[in-house]
Homo-oligomer: A and B are copies of this chain.
Amino acid sequence: MAEYISRGVFRLNTPVKIESCASVVGDKEAQGPLGKCFDKVVKDSHFGRNTWEQAESRFQLEAVSIAVNKAGLVKEDIGSICSGDLINQCTGSSYGLRELEIPFLGLYGACSTMAEGLIISSLLVESGVSLRAAAVTSSHFSTAERQFRAPLSYGGQRTPTSQWTCTAAGAVILSQKKGTAEITGGCIGVIADMGISDITNMGSAMAPAAASTIKRYLDATGTAPEDYDYIVTGDLGTVGSKLLIEFLKKQGVDISKQHRDCGAMIFDSKTQDTHCGGSGCGCSASVLCGVFLPMLEKGSIKNILFVATGALMSTMSLQQGESIPAIAHLINIRSNKNDS
């Protein structure tokens, strides 16, 4: 059973183990500061397929396959899989995972998908529905750019607050038994909308959602930022990260020492021309799987909050004059390396 702490905030009485994880990234991500952390680098943006959408599907499939292999499992061992992405109707997920024939739950949480998938997967495992459950997500620069912004060949100038959608995927396999990192609880996000409608300033749109979720979790669990090695946000980028820290400071919470942002970490903005940093579902998923989970598994860090943030607009909602609703889901991951 899970323990209800407050609305949307829960603790798992029996933590769910992270049995395995994998990250697959594109060439630009591999050239960034975290380049050596990922399991696989795919230099071809088409990943051997005919279209970028098909390539993104293959990124997801590859991430799941590597994670399954690393755990010494076969796909039949995975009881359910939660997945979503940014492409219209989440086709990166459904076409990518179709051949696996694993019971499939499709999600849409924009770039918050990895945390959402981990929340739902951890409940599937904890409740006993699935002996093992996987969470996976992906993004692709070229599929996102042409869907949300402009044709790539248009060569539009990028604004200073813009972020670069990562070509990447991350997959995590959860189980009841094995793993030196474990999910102990989480917080389901509430939609926050502060009226921002600039699609090239997503960090600012998402920062209030991240602040709200982190504050709700800390308050409900009676913990403070110092109780965590890192408080990792999804892809606020540099502008959004600064705002998040300011928002929380105004509410009496200082996370400046613990805070890391996957979007701010994945690129070197000075040399890689990525402005405010990386974004996309695959950004936080690959950085979680490539950087933070390995540290937890080794025991070099003990306790983190992973807070993936998503902007829930569409091009049509913005054309109709709407602002950008955002959400952030949180999971608490601990190392049990020295406990066992």
Which residues of B have CB within 8 Å of A187? Answer: 103
Interface residues of A in 181-196 (CB under 8 A from B): 187-191, 193
Interface residues of A in 257-275 (CB under 8 A from B): none
Q: Name the residue on B nearest A51 (C-beta).
A: B320
Please tell me if A124 contacts chain B, counting CB pairs below 8 Å.
yes
- Is the pair B108, A90 in contact by a Cβ cutoff of 8 Å? yes
- Is the pair A8, B98 in contact by a Cβ cutoff of 8 Å? no
Complex-state Cα separation, A236 to B106, whole angstroms: 20
Which residues of B have CB within 8 Å of A50? Answer: 320
- Is the pair A129, B10 in contact by a Cβ cutoff of 8 Å? yes
Of the candidates B84, B106, B188, B322, the one whose C-beta lies within 8 Å of that of A95 is B322
Asked, given contacts A1-B128, A104-B189, A127-B126, whether A314 binds B88 with beta carbons under 8 Å apart, the answer is yes
Question: How many chain A residues have a CB neighbour from B under 8 Å?
Answer: 64
Give the shortest distance, in Å, between A298 (CB) and chain B (any CB): 30
Please tell me if A74 contacts chain B, counting CB pairs below 8 Å.
no
Of the candidates B79, B80, B95, B322, the one whose C-beta lies within 8 Å of that of A325 is B95
Which residues of B have CB within 8 Å of A53? Answer: 316-317, 320
Give the shortest distance, in Å, between A133 (CB) and chain B (any CB): 10
Asked, given contacts A8-B103, A89-B108, A312-B91, whether A3 binds B128 with beta carbons under 8 Å apart, the answer is yes
Q: How many copies does the complex hold?
A: 2
Which residues of B have CB within 8 Å of A191? Answer: 94, 97-98, 101, 104
- Is the pair A116, B106 in contact by a Cβ cutoff of 8 Å? yes
- Is the pair B320, A106 in contact by a Cβ cutoff of 8 Å? no
- Is the pair B316, A190 in contact by a Cβ cutoff of 8 Å? no
Which residues of B have CB within 8 Å of A327? Answer: 94, 104, 106
- Is the pair A107, B108 in contact by a Cβ cutoff of 8 Å? yes
- Is the pair B312, A190 in contact by a Cβ cutoff of 8 Å? no
- Is the pair A128, B188 in contact by a Cβ cutoff of 8 Å? no
- Is the pair B128, A110 in contact by a Cβ cutoff of 8 Å? no
Which residues of B have CB within 8 Å of A101? Answer: 190-191
Please tell me if A7 contacts chain B, counting CB pairs below 8 Å.
yes
Please tell me if A109 contacts chain B, counting CB pairs below 8 Å.
yes
Please tell me if A2 contacts chain B, counting CB pairs below 8 Å.
yes
Which residues of B have CB within 8 Å of A93? Answer: 108
Please tell me if A253 contacts chain B, counting CB pairs below 8 Å.
no
Please tell me if A291 contacts chain B, counting CB pairs below 8 Å.
no
Interface residues of A in 138-179 (CB under 8 A from B): none
Complex-state Cα separation, A187 to B80, whole angstroms: 11
Give the shortest distance, in Å, between A297 (CB) and chain B (any CB): 26
Complex-state Cα separation, A189 to B126, whole angstroms: 20
Which residues of B have CB within 8 Å of A107? Answer: 105-108
Footprint of B on A, CB under 8 Å?
1-4, 7-8, 10, 50-51, 53-54, 76, 79-80, 84, 86-91, 93-95, 97-98, 101-110, 116, 119-120, 123-124, 126-131, 187-191, 193, 312-317, 320, 322, 325, 327, 329
**Top 4 A-B pairs, shortest CB-CB distance:** A8-B103, A103-B188, A94-B312, A89-B314
